[in-house]
Chains A and B, each alone.
Chain A
């Protein structure tokens, strides 16, 4: 059992007591509650502890001795009610103050306590005893207080009474007491001015406003979530398509590579017999062009050649078969991240492998433009350095370009499905 008394109540009792010129007594008002502590630990299943807590909120001093009992110690219930009035139900104990006596319940106190227990119907009525000791020369006075619960067994009667915040508050936290404020004045002021701060439910208004902001934010977040969800789905779909297209591209590359190999082999044998038949080579160029076209993945950063294709260099550094130059022209520009003509690789367009249809599109469009431009302006002069080699190669073999243009380009390269035939191709 634990007991506590608020500091102001304690000082009020002391004040009343110390100022009386004889013994002094009164009643303690407050509440008793039971606290149950459930503790769960790894070593044992939850154990619960019960703690009886007595809290003293207030006190009712008696104006004089023997005010509610007679010489024999018999309690007069009428007088008791007159003293307590409507606070009778809040009584949790009573107290007595006597100077220079022992800290032990006296004969009459025990008699009265028994009767009060029965009359007030409180089985665990407590008794607070104050004793005041002064030294002989009145230089030191000590106020001692002991809280008894006499209705318990003889050896368990004293309870420690704690006064919250009476101590070293720099080391302990300042405890807020749970003592309700019973002051009438306070209650009336709060009632009068409370409407400015509290709404009809007794909740502080600011709290409600904050809650509203919070719920608005929550709604927005919910909406954004929905949008994100949708866009994610779209992106997922597009990614699927890209993946499919890539697979097709690689498939076709493999097929053309195989064909090329066969062709190369047959070409080699033909070359040995007909060495300056350029038409053949020319005629072979379109397929090689296309092959080249097929071979060139529209990559931005990393160029991924199909492994079994003949390694045709982008830029004809070595004397290679004729298809090399035109292939150079039609090769897409190596895309650098953040290149001016392109949007920054945002939503998944920046992947090396999975460069999406957009870049393809652009590539295609670029190529289209190139090709168209090439036809119209033979010596197109591009400023960008990326086109240096291409320009030079274009000059070298315009005829090839023409023929390339005239041939049908694989429609699959251009997702829009159009097979462009640049104007002017014959």
Chain B
């Protein structure tokens, strides 16, 4: 697929049509899956071949929808740029929207750069209606759809793709793409800014594919926008329970939603807890603090002294703190290992309880240091060299 970068596409299109295409290419996010932009391919011209360029006025627009990509042909006329475009809906030859339902077509204004984008959105709405109509071929899936529709949480942000009947078995297949109403707004910003590209809207989409009309083969899949995925701990965040056989979406979807919400809660909680922890350590150890992560609160380094023995303590706070215990790494400042590193010992299990608050943890940690240090010192003298 010769997908063109937006700039190339814009340079080849006829100048009068450029603003319309610009908004589509740059700002074009339609549908639930807004991480994928609209793509443009196959720029062609409707003028005679002797017309000097750039004069392209017809192209194929790739629109992500319900896990599929719709390829619609959009046909303008470069000689009459004020006229509205025509569409060929690819393989969906039976899709024929009612023109009166497309206000941006009826009142097409070529001077408004957003007109085409709005028209595409309206067409997509009509397409969604059309697909929902097709669900009527299967009563089971129709039931699923209707039940979801009634729920205000899911009804309004749903994309249905009622696929073609499988030509081998005559089976009907459909895919539901749902936007999960999980609130990601409280996720600390630091977690989200690791992605290089503009992450766009934070969204969690649940795609459930029904491979047959009786819903015996159901394949759910969770999609998270990259920043959320990262914030929740990487690909492991995408694990969701399997669809229960005989179950239905109206039960399953809230389940997944809950799971995700819980994860988010953990993450948010973890952030706050870590902050609290660090603050407590700061206050307890005062001048002993060498450095700490002041944004994510994930690390803390202390320089402590006990009977003239100075040592460093690195504290690594995990993502799901306080559920997960922080890792303590003791490091001698005198001794080296054979590989040239500073002699260190990692302690993952020590007296700890997630129910302690920050202060308590700091106190206990202090006590633990005192109990552990002689051991460490001995080890350092024994194994390391100065």
Contacts and interface: CB of A to CB of B under 8 A. Distances in A.
Interface string A53-77: 0000000000011100001111000
B93 A98 contact: no
B79 A21 contact: yes
A109 interface: yes
Interface string A10-27: 000000001001110000
B106 A71 contact: yes
A283 interface: no
B88 A71 contact: no
Contact of B77 (A22, A109, A110, A138): A22
A385 B75 CA distance: 116
A283 B79 CA distance: 138
Interface string A106-136: 1111110000000000000000000000100
Interface string B88-119: 11000110110110100111100000000000
B46 A104 contact: no
A66 B83 contact: yes
Contacts of A64: 80
Contact of B99 (A65, A66, A73, A100): A73
Nearest to A135: B49
Contacts of A65: 77, 80, 83
Interface residues of B, number: 31
- Interface residue SS majority, chain B: loop
A389 interface: no
Contacts of A52: none
Contacts of A22: 46-47, 77-80
A107 B97 contact: yes
Contacts of A74: 99
Contacts of B105: 71-72
Interface in A69-97: 71-74
A27 B284 CA distance: 90
A72 B93 contact: no
Interface string B74-86: 0101111001101
A200 to B, nearest CB: 54
Interface in B310-353: none
B44 interface: yes
- Interface residue SS majority, chain A: loop
A108 B106 contact: no
Given A22-B47, A72-B105, A138-B49, A106 B77 contact: no
A72 B99 contact: yes
B87 interface: yes
B46 A102 contact: no
Contacts of A102: 73, 88
A154 interface: yes
Interface string B43-56: 01111110100000
Contact of B49 (A101, A109, A141): A141
B46 A154 contact: no
Which of B84, B86, B89 has the most chain A CB atoms inside 10 A of its CB? B86
B111 to A, nearest CB: 14
Given A22-B46, A71-B108, A104-B88, A98 B83 contact: no
Contacts of A72: 99-100, 102, 105-106
Contacts of B96: 107, 110-111
A107 B48 CA distance: 24
B29 interface: no
B100 A106 contact: no
A101 to B, nearest CB: 6
Contacts of B108: 71
B45 A99 contact: yes
Given A21-B48, A71-B108, A72-B105, A107 B80 contact: no
Nearest to B60: A102
B94 A154 contact: yes
A107 B87 contact: yes
B98 to A, nearest CB: 9
A107 B89 contact: yes
B58 interface: yes
B78 A107 contact: no
Contacts of B78: 22
A65 to B, nearest CB: 6
Contacts of B73: 101-102, 106
A99 B46 contact: yes
Contacts of B47: 21-22, 99
Contacts of A108: 86-87
Nearest to A97: B46
Interface in B25-57: 44-49, 51
B79 A109 contact: no
Given A100-B46, A101-B58, 17 more contacts: A22-B47, A22-B78, A23-B46, A64-B80, A66-B83, A71-B106, A72-B105, A99-B46, A99-B47, A100-B44, A101-B46, A101-B73, A102-B88, A106-B87, A107-B96, A138-B49, A154-B93
26 contacts: A21-B47, A22-B46, A23-B46, A23-B75, A65-B77, A66-B83, A71-B83, A72-B102, A72-B105, A99-B44, A99-B45, A101-B58, A104-B88, A104-B93, A106-B73, A106-B75, A106-B88, A107-B87, A107-B88, A107-B96, A107-B97, A108-B87, A110-B96, A111-B99, A134-B49, A154-B94
8 tightest Cβ-Cβ pairs between the two chains A and B: A100-B44, A72-B99, A22-B77, A22-B79, A107-B87, A138-B49, A72-B106, A106-B86
